[in-house]
């Protein structure tokens, strides 16, 4: 079996596990409250996603590749001839923002740019042992948070909780992104 096929199978397995755990407001409408008031909701953007952001933050929608939910995202172009700008899971030097929601019907990802402040649960690299509140984190090339082990990594977020294990392959952490593209640790 080629490496690409193996990577694709592992990716599809992770996507299926995440989809099974997360609730979708379009499919599970009875689980989420609906309010049509015109009043500012202050700091809560989306109760069902467990995030905290400001009403002044810029929230953008892009088509997506893969399943970048609760991960760092980077820009990419579609593989067809349309050349439409899309987002996919990614990080490092190419990090653009954080995917906070996905609409599977319209194939649109809701993204908060990394320059905004953000607090919420995000995916963490496997085996989050040793991560404590206050630890410095960065987004790796797969868009997952990872603990900084050396001074050469850029700091993207601060851990606000320990890492929680949802399944054997899925870990989450409550983290705060403090409104910059990165600072050197």
Sequential DSSP letters for 91-110: -GGG--EEEEEEETTTTEEE
What confidence score (pLDDT) does residue 21 get? Answer: 75
- 121 alpha carbon, distance to own chain's centre: 8
131 and 41, same structural domain? no
Cα diameter, the chain: 56
Write down the pLDDT at residue 169: 85
The number of helices, as runs of H, and strands, as runs of E, in the chain is 1, 14
Both 19 and 88 in one domain: the answer is yes
pLDDT over 70 percentage in the chain? 74
- 97 plus 156 within the same structural domain: no
Q: In angstroms, what CA-CA distances link 47 with 50, 58, 112?
A: 6, 18, 16
- Identify the burial level of 2 via C-beta atoms within 10 angstroms of its C-beta, where 0-12 means exposed, 13-18 middle and 19 or more buried: exposed
Residue 26 has pLDDT above 50, yes or no: yes
Global confidence as pTM = 0.66
Q: What is the mean pLDDT of residues 113-124?
A: 88
Report the C-alpha gap between 134 and 144 in whole angstroms. Answer: 18
| Same domain flag for 90 and 128 | no
Round to whole Å and give the CA distance between 12 and 36. Answer: 37
Quote the pLDDT of residue 44: 43
| Domain match, 16 and 77 both | yes
Q: How many domains does the chain have?
A: 2
Domain end (from 90, 115, 140): 115
Which one-letter DSSP state was computed for residue 64? B
Mark whether 72 and 142 lie in a shared domain.
no
**Range of the structural domain that residue 66 is part of:** 3-115
Same domain, yes or no: 103 and 133? no
How confident is the model over 137-154, as a mean pLDDT? 83
- Of 115, 141, 175, which residue constitutes the final position of a domain? 115
pLDDT at 4 over 60: yes
Confidence of residue 45 (pLDDT cuts 50, 70, 90): very low
Q: Among the three residues 100, 115, 130, which one is the final residue of a domain in this structure?
A: 115
> How many Å apart are CA 95 and CA 91, to the nearest integer?
4
111 and 137 share a domain? no
3-state DSSP assignment of residue 25: coil
Same domain as 161, residue 89: no
Question: 39 and 109, same structural domain?
Answer: yes
Which tops the pLDDT comparison, 161 or 19? 161
d(CA 76, CA 65): 9
The residue among 77 and 26 whose pLDDT is bigger is 77
Judged by average pLDDT, the poorest of 36-40, 77-81, 85-89 is 36-40
| Spatial separation of the C-alpha atoms in residues 111 and 69, rounded to whole Å | 10
96, 127: one domain = no
């Amino acid at each position: 079996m080629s490496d690409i096929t193996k990577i694709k199978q592992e990716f599809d397995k992770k996507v299926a596990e995440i989809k099974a755990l997360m609730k979708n407001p379009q499919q599970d409408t009875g689980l989420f409250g609906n309010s049509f008031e015109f009043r500012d909701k202050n700091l809560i953007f989306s109760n069902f996603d467990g995030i905290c952001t400001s009403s002044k933050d810029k929230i953008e929608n892009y088509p997506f590749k893969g399943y970048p939910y609760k991960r760092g995202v980077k820009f990419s172009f579609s593989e067809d001839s349309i050349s439409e700008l899309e987002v996919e899971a990614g990080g490092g030097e190419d990090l653009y923002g954080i995917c906070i929601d996905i609409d599977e019907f319209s194939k649109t990802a809701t993204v908060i740019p990394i320059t905004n402040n953000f607090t919420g649960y995000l995916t963490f690299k496997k085996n989050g042992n040793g991560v404590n509140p206050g630890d410095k984190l960065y987004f790796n090339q797969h868009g997952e948070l990872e603990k900084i082990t050396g001074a050469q990594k850029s700091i993207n977020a601060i851990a606000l909780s320990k890492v929680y294990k949802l399944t054997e392959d899925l870990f989450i952490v409550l983290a705060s992104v403090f409104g910059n593209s990165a600072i050197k640790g």
